[in-house]
């Protein structure tokens, strides 16, 4: 059903180093700062050129915040976001000001979760796709821009004539194709796809993922692909990073993670993935009980310990660092590694 995964060349395009994003919380009549949400709390990860890194975790664990930090839609509290530009220059996005960031933004684009609310309903699809072009390639003539819009629409499986239509005239899957065309308009190298198919019918999800894989191959794109669900990222990701309450708990190739997951949280997420044969025996199934704690009251040490079947008292002492347990396979759990 799915196209074969393309291969990545192993050169880092994006590298997060100790990234923290803490949101201040204000309260009381003077709206004083009364606390902070540690949405991202020391994340280090690499996304290689040409690959798809799947970023997975339950709601509220900080996935979108990482995407927003890369796009500089939120400020990093601490850490580095290193990006290799098309010219080969390595820059730290955290250090860049608005003016310096503008040309870099053409190289990094985002596909949003909800194709219903992310497209301006008053603009035609052609205007929606042309907008980033007007910002980043202002010298294009109107005719050149129209031509580029039609070309982009065809690349995502729509037609040039559809550029005069409005978002409400399209189905969910078609709207997400428009969102993808808009993201591609500036010729990006890195695309942050924030749950790009989770608002779509299951029957449409595979089509959009196949399209994204075809476009990756054609344009040599690199994806940071965010999802709740391991079953969605399995087909598209070369590697997967699993996140829990602001920290990564396990990173590895998709294959390694599906077959030899070690962290109890990853194992629990995998236990929730439906199997083709529901009667199949899953000997070491881990059920996830209880809610994710609020990041305002994040447990000390390993944040997963309050839901972990293997937790020991020492798990409260420090946030376990990622440790290499095999080639490219990292696990943050001293109990299993
Ligand atoms: N602007 C903000 N101010 C304060 N807290 C925020 C802000 N944005 C997000 N948060 C909080 O930061 C945490 C991480 O949010 P984020 O949206 O990154 O999670 P997520 O993993 O993308 O979740 P979901 O799967 O629901 O999209 C959550 O607890 C959220 O409530
Ligand atoms: Mg999100």
| pLDDT tens for each residue of 176-221 | 999 999 999 999 999 999 999 999 998 899 999 999 999 999 999 9
Return the CATH number of 12-107+222-331, one of 3.40.605.10, 3.40.50.1370, 3.40.50.300, 1.10.1740.110: 3.40.50.300
Ligand 1 pocket check for 60: Cβ under 6 Å = yes
Question: Among the listed ranges 130-134, 135-139, 282-286, which one has the minimum average pLDDT value?
Answer: 282-286
Q: Which atom of ligand 1 is nearest the CA belonging to 68?
A: 18
Domain spans in the chain, listed from the N-terminal domain onward: 12-107+222-331
The bound ligand whose nearest atom lies closest to the alpha carbon of 25 is: 1
Tens of pLDDT along 49-65? 999 999 999 999 999 99
Q: How do 239-244 and 323-326 pair as beta strands?
A: unpaired
Ligand 1 pocket check for 61: Cβ under 6 Å = yes
243 has which bridge partners? 248
* C-beta separation of 48 from 89 below 8 A: no
Q: Tell the residue nearest (CA) to atom 11 of ligand 1.
A: 39
Q: What is the pTM of this model?
A: 0.93
329 has which bridge partners? 326
| Cα 280 to middle of ligand 2, angstroms | 32
Q: Tell the residue nearest (CA) to atom 1 of ligand 1.
A: 23
Q: Which atom of ligand 1 is nearest the CA belonging to 64?
A: 22
Residue 216 CB burial class (10 angstroms; 0-12, 13-18, ≥19): buried
Q: Which atom of ligand 1 is nearest the CA belonging to 40?
A: 14
Residue 191 CB burial class (10 angstroms; 0-12, 13-18, ≥19): buried
| Cα 195 to middle of ligand 1, angstroms | 14
53 has which bridge partners? 224, 239
Six-digit token pair at 227? 């999802």
């Amino acid at each position: 059903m799915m196209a074969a995964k393309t291969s990545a060349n192993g050169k880092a395009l994006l590298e997060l180093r100790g990234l923290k994003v803490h949101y201040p919380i204000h309260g009381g009549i003077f709206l004083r700062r009364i606390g902070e949400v540690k949405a991202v709390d020391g994340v280090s990860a690499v996304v290689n050129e040409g690959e798809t890194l799947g970023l997975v975790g339950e709601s509220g664990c900080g996935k979108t915040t990482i995407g927003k930090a890369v796009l500089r839609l939120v400020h990093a509290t601490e850490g580095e976001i290193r990006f290799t530009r098309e010219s080969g220059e390595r820059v730290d996005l955290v250090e860049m000001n608005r003016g310096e960031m503008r040309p870099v933004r053409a190289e990094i684009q985002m596909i949003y979760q909800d194709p219903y609310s992310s497209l301006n309903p008053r603009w035609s699809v052609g205007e929606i796709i042309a907008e980033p072009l007007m910002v980043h390639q202002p010298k294009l003539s109107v005719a050149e821009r129209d031509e580029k819009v039609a070309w982009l629409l065809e690349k995502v499986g729509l037609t040039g004539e559809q550029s005069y239509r409005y978002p409400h005239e399209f189905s969910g899957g078609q709207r997400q194709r428009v969102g993808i065309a808009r993201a591609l308009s500036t010729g990006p190298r890195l695309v942050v796809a924030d749950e790009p198919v989770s608002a779509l019918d299951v029957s449409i999800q595979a089509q959009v993922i196949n399209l994204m894989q075809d476009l990756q191959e054609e344009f040599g794109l690199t994806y940071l692909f965010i999802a709740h669900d391991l079953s969605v990222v399995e087909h598209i990701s070369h590697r997967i990073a699993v996140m829990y309450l602001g920290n990564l708990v396990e990173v590895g190739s998709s294959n390694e993670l599906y077959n030899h997951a070690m962290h109890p949280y990853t194992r629990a997420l995998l236990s929730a993935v439906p199997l083709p044969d529901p009667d199949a025996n899953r000997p070491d199934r881990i059920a996830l009980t209880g809610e994710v704690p609020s990041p305002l009251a994040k447990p000390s040490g390993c944040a997963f310990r309050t839901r972990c079947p293997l937790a020991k008292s020492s798990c409260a002492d420090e946030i376990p660092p990622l440790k290499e347990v095999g080639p490219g396979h990292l696990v943050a759990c001293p109990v299993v590694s």
